[in-house]
Amino acid sequence: MSWLWFHKLGSPKWFFFWSKSWALPVFCIGCFGLVVGLVWGLAFAPEDYQQGNSFRIIYIHVPVAMLAQSCYLAMGVAGLIFLVWQMKIAPMFIKAIAPIGAVMALMAMVSGAIWGKPTWGTWWVWDARLTSVLVLFLLFMGVIALQNALEDITLANKAAAIMSVVGLINLPIIKYSVVLWNTLHQGPTFTITKKPEMPAEMWLPLLIAVVGLYCLVAGLLLWRIQSEIILREHRSNWVKQEVMGNGL
């Protein structure tokens, strides 16, 4: 297998032009998938025999919760890549993904609270999953704050990378410790090894919504990285040509 594609990722210029052609299609596919999944799930999927209609928040809650975790995973991997290979794109990736991840974690908490009120009778419980999402949110905020506080850009890159790697190492431990501490939340909806326990007309829209949100976030991410590249490389010639030729 050739590693050329991987090394190419180290070049902001190559990444910029590559992502330019991908951002819009991916984003549109994502929007389409999310809308289809949500409309199908919210309007046409059958009611849950126990929870009634309130279960439908799953079509928002599960995608954002999955995204929040995936964003942190991706951020940690990018941090590791930066620490090992010093790839220029990695810190831009971290900078671009941290706010998205924070928003996803926040949305997971809010949607979970809205669901929790009718189902558990309370907005918030000190439950393992809720607490670990809260911690996830705080870890995202920590990385954002660290990047904003450090004025020197090389230091900010390195610090954010270190922090996201440390957070990635700690996240499973935090998760395990809070699970041991207290849990009330139901088990995961999707696992890779088992078939979902819901009927297909219930989980299929969910799957579409999840994939749609992944694509949507990927598109957003590519755009954010592009603007970060322009900001950081504004002295280089190709950026000047690009901006003069095609505008921003």
Partner 1 sequence: MTYRSFLIYEFLVLWRRKQDVFNALLFFIIVVILFPLGVSAEPAFLAQAASGIIWCGVVLSILISIDHMFKEDYQDGSLEQWIVSGLSLPLLMLLKVMANWVVIILPLLIMMPLLSEMLFMPNTSFWALVLTLLVGTPGLFLIGVMGAALTVSVRQGTMLVMLLILPLYLPVLIFATSAVQAAQSGLPYSGFLAMLLALSLMSLVVSPFMTAMAIKASVSG
141 binds partner 1 (CB under 8 A): yes
CA-to-CA distance for 211 and 215, rounded, in angstroms? 6
From 24, 145, 200, 243, residue interacting with partner 1 (rule: CB under 8 A): 145
From 1, 4, 43, 149, residue interacting with partner 1 (rule: CB under 8 A): 149
- Separation of CA 128 from chain center: 20
Compare residues 26 and 135 and give the one whose CB is closer to partner 1. Answer: 135
CA-to-CA distance for 213 and 218, rounded, in angstroms? 8
Q: What is the largest CA-CA distance in the chain?
A: 62
Compare residues 107 and 150 and give the one whose CB is closer to partner 1. Answer: 150
- Cβ of residue 158: shortest distance to partner 1, in angstroms? 4
CA-to-CA distance for 6 and 229, rounded, in angstroms? 18
Find, among 59, 93, 88, 58, the residue nearest to 73 by Cα.
93
| Three-state DSSP state, 55 | helix
Stretch that binds partner 1, among 19-27, 148-156, 196-204, 210-218 (CB under 8 A): 148-156
Q: Which of residues 150-209 bind partner 1 (CB under 8 A)?
A: 150, 152, 154-155, 158-159, 162-163, 165-167, 169-170, 173-174, 176-178, 180-181
- DSSP assignment, residue 48? B
Please, are residues 157 and 82 in contact by the beta-carbon 8 Å criterion? yes
- Cβ of residue 213: shortest distance to partner 1, in angstroms? 25
φ/ψ of 48, rounded to 5, equals -80, 140
Compare residues 102 and 215 and give the one whose CB is closer to partner 1. Answer: 102
The alpha-helical segments, DSSP class H, found in the chain are 4-8, 12-39, 58-85, 89-120, 128-149, 153-181, 200-232, 237-246
- Cβ of residue 224: shortest distance to partner 1, in angstroms? 22
Q: Which of residues 38-97 bind partner 1 (CB under 8 A)?
A: 83
Compare residues 141 and 230 and give the one whose CB is closer to partner 1. Answer: 141
Q: Which of residues 14-33 bind partner 1 (CB under 8 A)?
A: none
Token readout for 120 is 């558990």
Compare residues 36 and 134 and give the one whose CB is closer to partner 1. Answer: 134
Residues paired with 48 in a beta bridge: 52
Q: Which of residues 215-244 bind partner 1 (CB under 8 A)?
A: none
Q: Give contact residues for partner 1 (rule: CB under 8 A).
A: 83, 131, 135, 138-139, 141-142, 145-146, 149-150, 152, 154-155, 158-159, 162-163, 165-167, 169-170, 173-174, 176-178, 180-181
